[in-house]
Structure 1
């Protein structure tokens, strides 16, 4: 169980520009949260604060009530793992199985072989265990990066732009993969521009604009607010726009998963 909290967190890369300005939010254990906003809104900066890769310029970030200023990146990563936008940037080993084993050995696990086998099965990558990580497809690379992190059982997973370079079938598989991780009691926080993927995968959305939180609520409430989404330079999910075109009345707060949409359309057709 892990809780992550930002308290009036600011961050500047220098040059007088603040990437984050007074961000305060709390992520509870087991939540699935989408961090969203326009390019340059501060999304990736925020999640890098969450696992200690960056330290706030002002304010503080707490992981289990301990300031990230007082912990090393390695200490925080044991609890809060991160997958980068380009997974190949975090590959070090020559084979898929060695890639998963790499982090386990660094953290001193004794049952490396067992955990590697479990991670390969979980990510459906058993047949690739002897192949180079760089030979995998985009979707397979993403699953390998996630499995490599989850093998050491952090309590939270941070993932930056999970759907970049993924086709529809890969997105469907990735969404199921992340939900399975969540079902094991893990926290999942993703940075994404993909509103349809977020609608299917997450329960809560945090909208950033110019380094400031402009929205933080259940994802259905956020995505039902066209004006707020516009302020974050985001469109509503395609399902929400489809419902509007069909003239389907959405129940407040109204959403947007495929299953709910099918039920609403079916109900409208019967009237």
Structure 2
């Protein structure tokens, strides 16, 4: 059973703006899934439907086989955690520790388990020495990790990251990649919506391409990024490694730089 399934889902905002039109996709346990497309393609609406912030105008959204129509937004968010693109839309506490702990209080865990989760989330996001700082005083790149830590602590089955790499340096990118690896290794799923094709190519196994409020195609990352027609339809640039492989006549080596280098050397 998929953790999340969207079955022919459409959503129209108040005022009549159609944002998602007949979208079907699934999210499985232990997988990393990227949803890519231009602004206005329907990506953000799609993930908000996943975590209950929005309810479909038609079609069904299933979380662990249960229809979200029968659940409150809070109940769905307990299973599908959403990290907003702008951390200032989520942060409201006066210390990093309080921000991370806020969701834990609603779970009514014992003190020892709450402290363990706080410490683990802080360690994974690099915030262990900043717990008593005011998150509003931190740089934007660090504030993003505060909101990620707050969702990690709740231990949702699905972690949704909205443009997580924006504004990050290489150390931040490496940390996000580690979070994806750790969470999928635990059997959780990680979903991202992003314009960062290079990051997706390196760290996400499956890709959904959206354009004009619909899914254009979906499949393994190496299949999608070498599908010139699908990328052109969505008006997306292919990752640099795919362009390089094409120029070298090695388009079938996948998305690994090491594999590309080995294939080039084997040519003699």
Q: Is residue 65 from structure 1 mapped to residue 65 from structure 2 by the alignment?
A: yes
Q: Secondary structure at the match of 1:144?
A: helix
Counting only pairs closer than 5 Å after superposition, residues 158-237 of structure 1 correspond to structure 2 as: 158-237=160-239
Deviation string, structure 1 residues 106-136 (Cα, Å, up to 9, x no partner):
2222232222122212222111111111222
Q: Secondary structure at the match of 2:78?
A: helix
State the match for 1:262 in structure 2. Answer: 261
CA contact (8 A) 1:200 1:258 kept: no
Partners of 2:143 and 2:155 lie apart in 1 by 19
State the match for 2:158 in structure 1. Answer: 156
Q: Secondary structure at the match of 1:126?
A: coil
State the match for 1:17 in structure 2. Answer: 17
C-alpha displacement of 1:250: 2.8
TM-score when normalising by structure 1: 0.92
CA contact (8 A) 1:226 1:235 kept: no
Query: Can you give the 5+ residue segments of structure 1 that lack an aligned partner in the other structure?
Result: none
Partners of 1:194 and 1:88 lie apart in 2 by 21
Q: Indicate how the Cα distance of structure 1 residues 259 and 138 shifts in structure 2: closer, same or farther if over 3 A, else same.
A: farther
RMSD: 1.7
CA contact (8 A) 1:195 1:236 kept: yes
CA contact (8 A) 1:97 1:129 kept: yes
State the match for 1:80 in structure 2. Answer: 80
CA contact (8 A) 1:2 1:155 kept: no
Partners of 1:244 and 1:94 lie apart in 2 by 51
C-alpha displacement of 1:8: 0.9
Q: Secondary structure at the match of 1:128?
A: coil
CA contact (8 A) 2:3 2:29 kept: yes
C-alpha displacement of 1:96: 0.9
2:123 to 118, 121, 124: 121
Deviation string, structure 1 residues 17-60 (Cα, Å, up to 9, x no partner):
31111111122111110001111000000000000100001111
Query: Can you give the 5+ residue segments of structure 2 that lack an aligned partner in the other structure?
Result: none
CA contact (8 A) 2:33 2:207 kept: yes
CA contact (8 A) 2:125 2:175 kept: no
Worse overlay, 188-197 or 87-96: 87-96
Partners of 2:139 and 2:213 lie apart in 1 by 34
State the match for 2:106 in structure 1. Answer: 106
State the match for 2:89 in structure 1. Answer: 89
C-alpha displacement of 1:2: 5.9
Q: Secondary structure at the match of 1:151?
A: helix
TM-score when normalising by structure 2: 0.93
Partners of 1:12 and 1:68 lie apart in 2 by 17
Partners of 1:36 and 1:194 lie apart in 2 by 9
Partners of 2:256 and 2:140 lie apart in 1 by 25
CA contact (8 A) 1:248 1:265 kept: no
